Amino acid sequence: MITPHQLKSLYDQGHNISAFLRDEMGLDHNTREIIEISYDLQAGSYITAMENEEMAKHKEEYSREIAHRILSLCQPRSILEAGVGEATTLSGVLKNLGNDVYSYGFDLSWSRVAYAQKWLDSQGITNTLLCSGDLFNIPFLDNSIDIVYTSHSIEPNKDNEKPILQELYRVARKFLILLEPGYEFANDEARQRMDFHGYCKNLKGISNSLNYDVLEHKLFPFTSNPLNPTAITIIRKDSDCDTELSSGVFACPKFKVPLKKICGMLFSREALVVYPIVGRIPCLRVENGIFASKYEEVMKVMG
């Protein structure tokens, strides 16, 4: 069995870790473990890429256009980037939305969230709260965020598009915006590459099957890789909830109930589970939860 240090060595040598692990496991798709390991080993590379003038320019145009699309839909009070990576997109979106918007982000990889926090700090952006989390069990309450968007985060989750879309839609209050591989808009070479890497497909068709109100589905004008063209899909959600949540927006990822901060941790009174905060980052994946029925009682006694 290959060790994590051996995987890191392979990554440092330039190997595609996702492809390597799929081959090792005899799979034609990515598991959550494969995605986490692959992206965690990449942590820091997206920020480093911003030192490249061409990449920085692309990211500026890309994020500006996302902000433009958001403002054409509504004036949001809150946004969430699901699969925030290192926040190089989120930071640009926020700079174009203004200071009145509060933002959130989560990622499967703790290391990437740590780099995202570092990047946002360097950009002077303070109106953001990040956590680790899973697209299949998003740690936010129902109808809690005005605009939820993705930027190539559904991408590696072939055959799991439906449950991910349902979770994203659950959290969104007004609109869900998907910036993901446009398989149906791609040429044969690009499709072959997408199939090899296990990229998502048919987001519009699946959204229609879920009776979501798809307002737009077409190629996005800015794409960094012509072999992975970005499509934009905009979904409207008519939520009855239009008030800010006084208890915050974080939720127990398993039970979707509010969390209460007690003695530096996040506790679910209903689920009797405590989630740790590591390096300022709430760890809100289901597997991070510790069943601790007496946590609130004991912490109250301890002061």
Q: Band of the pLDDT at 238, cuts 50, 70, 90?
A: confident
Query: What value does the mean pLDDT of the chain take?
Result: 94
**Is residue 292 in some structural domain?**
yes
DSSP secondary-structure letter at 169?
H
Indicate whether 171 and 298 sit together in one domain.
no
**218 and 125 share a domain?**
yes
pLDDT tens-digit series, residues 66-93: 999 999 999 999 999 999 999 999 999 9
Band the pLDDT of 237: cuts 50, 70, 90.
very high
CATH code of residue 291: 2.20.25
Structural domain includes residue 255: no
In a domain, residue 242? The reply is no
Question: Do 166 and 56 belong together in one domain?
Answer: yes
Percent of the chain, pLDDT > 90?
A: 89
> Which residues span the domain enclosing 13?
4-42
Is the domain of 21 the same as that of 163?
no
Is the same domain home to 273 and 226? no
Distances in whole angstroms, Cα of residue 107 to Cα of each of 152, 191, 282: 12, 26, 11
Q: Within this chain, do residues 18 and 129 fall inside the same structural domain, yes or no?
A: no
Number of domains within the chain:
3
Report the b/e string of 36-45 with b at 16+ CB within 10 A.
Answer: bbbbbbbbee
In a domain, 245, yes or no: no
Look up residue 212 and give its two tokens. 């979501």
Confidence of residue 302 (pLDDT cuts 50, 70, 90): confident
Q: What is the pLDDT confidence band of residue 98, given thresholds at 50, 70 and 90? A: confident
Report d(CA 289, CA 210) in Å as an integer: 30
Residue-wise pLDDT for 13-63, tens only, equals 999 999 999 999 999 889 989 999 999 999 999 999 999 999 999 999 999
Q: Is residue 229 part of a domain?
A: yes
Task: Looking at the structure, tell me whether residues 119 and 102 fall in a common domain.
Answer: yes
Can you tell me the distance from the alpha carbon of 108 to that of 124, in angstroms, rounded to the nearest whole number? 24
Kindly state whether residues 194 and 216 are assigned to the same domain.
Answer: yes
The CATH number linked to 79 is 3.40.50.150
Query: Residue 241 falls within a domain, yes or no?
Result: no
- Do 222 and 95 lie in one domain? The reply is yes
